[in-house]
Amino acid sequence: MEILCSLSWLEQKVRKQKSLLWLRHLSNSWDEWVGVDRLMKHTEENVMKQQALDKKQGVDKNPKSGRSAQTKPKSSADAKLDKEDLKNNVSKGKKRKSDSGAEKDNVSLEKLVRIQIPSTLRKQLVDDWEFVTQQDKLVKLPRSPTVDDILTKYLEYRSKKDGMMTDSIGEILKGIRCYFDKALPVMLLYKKERKQYHEAVVDNVSPSTIYGAEHLLRLFVKLPELLAYVNIEEETLTRLQQKLLDFLKFLQKNHSTFFLSAYDGSKVSEGKGKGKDE
Q: Which of 170, 240, 12 is nearest to 162 (CA)?
A: 170
How far is it, in rounded angstroms, from Cα 6 to Cα 232? 14
- Section 78-94 average pLDDT: 54
Model pLDDT for residues 31-67, shown as the tens digit of each residue? 333 444 555 656 677 767 777 776 665 554 444 444 4
pTM of the full predicted structure? Answer: 0.63
Measured CA distances, 20 to 117, 166, 187 (Å): 19, 37, 9
pLDDT digits (tens, 9 = 90+) for 198-238: 999 998 899 999 999 999 999 999 998 888 777 778 888 88
Neighbours of 51 (CB within 10 A): 11
How many C-beta atoms lie closer than 10 Å to residue 233's C-beta?
9
For residue range 139-173, list pLDDT tens digits in order.
999 999 999 999 999 999 998 888 766 778 889 99
Domain ranges of the chain: 119-265
Q: What is the pLDDT of residue 93?
A: 52
Question: What pLDDT, on a 0 to 100 scale, did the predictor assign at position 274?
Answer: 40
Task: Give the residue with greater pLDDT, 130 vs 10.
Answer: 130
* Other Cβ atoms closer than 10 A to 183: 23
Q: 119-265, superfamily in CATH?
A: MRG domain (1.10.274.30)
- DSSP class of residue 132? I
